[in-house]
Structure 1
């Protein structure tokens, strides 16, 4: 049964006029359909920051915190079906980390305890902030969103499409779950932070190995509006890996010089050189800050792959 805020709720700047608390996904969809201006909210870590900064004044909120069906996960056809309401704190626990190690590492790095206790996987995806820690992992895992819509409908879309803005949520829709492949293979997540805060990434890297297909997936976060996949670098380094030596004690699956070259390849793909001047034919040097960011990306990619192969 849905619950609403009392009619005498305060109506000051940044304060909503209505809060609905549905108990099921379909109730949430019905509430969003009935109130097109309403905003769904789970942990509210990003939304409340925007409200407090005066950047957002939602007319109504649909709270998702009471929907138990999106707070856990289950197995289905070689995939994990992860509830969008999973908190970062829950994803950081050992039982989750055993199945999705890179996603757990990203969740543990998401900020101070109060942020990890409130922030959710679905909120990270829908907010799509460039520095969102789980986003490069989801991109590397090629996760799929399961979206609930009017009339009990469910549809799926690649998470990369929503993050790139190529496919948006329709009126009344809400992300209910994420479908993530269970690869049972090495996965890593690393990030670099700067003066913007002790937990905010200036760059991050996720690397996922897929030994069954002899593939490497890498995604770089925080350096662009969406996670970047250096596909050519992935294919190149996958062709050089001795897959029979992966995770074999004492064996070397990839030569050190190839590992270093992979980092540089990824960095060049994600932060390319400036375009050449049409008159001189020469490209101007990158600003020092951009050069530093490129070196950071190279180091993260190299270390992430190295740890996955160790």
Structure 2
């Protein structure tokens, strides 16, 4: 029972499979799927959400793991917890996502908070979201009699949103087998909400750089022009004495400024004007982008 009795008289269903969960969603108008409930309960307690029923996903074991798929893809269950993503086997597979999960909050949050919850809630400061955007991940959405795959970026921006009766089941992530980095700034020590974050991955096969900036806008932002420009500044065939991929230090610094200028406008990300808050945020994004690319090239 939660504050103010917000869940009193709410039906709670506990399906044991994806099919049962989808059937329950189709049969119950206003039902809301719930896994870790870290974000949902906050919304319920604050009165922003009053679900007619809750469909608990905790018994669906297939959604709590991950597997390989032909074609070089990792298929991640929507119920995969942040704590599970931080384990060494997963970190070796998708290190940027493991880094994001590691900083998602205190242990009690990471132990129950899920990847699917992060996506469905679409909090601008969600740590996994810029990583998924940079990796160009897709979401599998299931409903009675139908399944479809949607780019995570389309889901978050509302270009192709979650439809009534649909359940987010899987997240498909292309495995690049190349350096990837996630960095964030919170303005305080220890796990905390991001003021700005940057995910950056290299795609050597296409000689490309992918970058996504989180927390500075309602959805993660891809500075596509900055990505294309800096990819042309990298000597993909050469290596320095320490084995690092070569780039002019001036280009590295310019990339940070390019990303900041693209993602944090002169007026600030949240309408702060050209005051110190906006200036500080631009500087933070520039530093994060520069450091992320520098680490990825080492």
TM range (shorter): over 0.9
Q: Does 1:234 align with 2:227?
A: yes
Q: Does 1:97 align with 2:91?
A: yes
3-state SS of paired residue (2:21): helix
Q: By how many angstroms is 1:13 displaced?
A: 3.1
Q: Does 1:167 align with 2:160?
A: yes
Cα distance per residue 1:26-71 (max 9 Å; x no partner): 1111111111211110100000111222322222100111111111
CA contact (8 A) 1:130 1:227 kept: yes
Aligned residues: 293
* Cα distance, 1:158–1:128 mapped onto 2, change above 3 Å: same
Which of 268, 279, 286 lines up with 1:291 in the alignment? 279
TM-score norm. by structure 2 comes to 0.93
Equivalent runs, 1:39-188 vs 2, <5 Å:
39-76=32-69, 77-151=71-145, 153-188=146-181
Q: By how many angstroms is 1:288 displaced?
A: 1.0
Matches of 1:115 and 1:10 in 2, distance apart?
A: 17
CA contact (8 A) 1:210 1:216 kept: yes
RMSD of Structure 2 on Structure 1 (CA): 2.1
CA contact (8 A) 1:246 1:309 kept: no
Matches of 1:169 and 1:186 in 2, distance apart?
A: 31
Q: By how many angstroms is 1:12 displaced?
A: 5.9
Matches of 2:274 and 2:238 in 1, distance apart?
A: 39
Q: By how many angstroms is 1:271 displaced?
A: 1.1
User: Larger Rg: 1 or 2?
Assistant: 1
Matches of 2:284 and 2:99 in 1, distance apart?
A: 19
Equivalent runs, 1:3-22 vs 2, <5 Å:
13-16=5-8, 17-22=10-15
CA contact (8 A) 1:219 1:227 kept: yes
TM-score norm. by structure 1 comes to 0.90
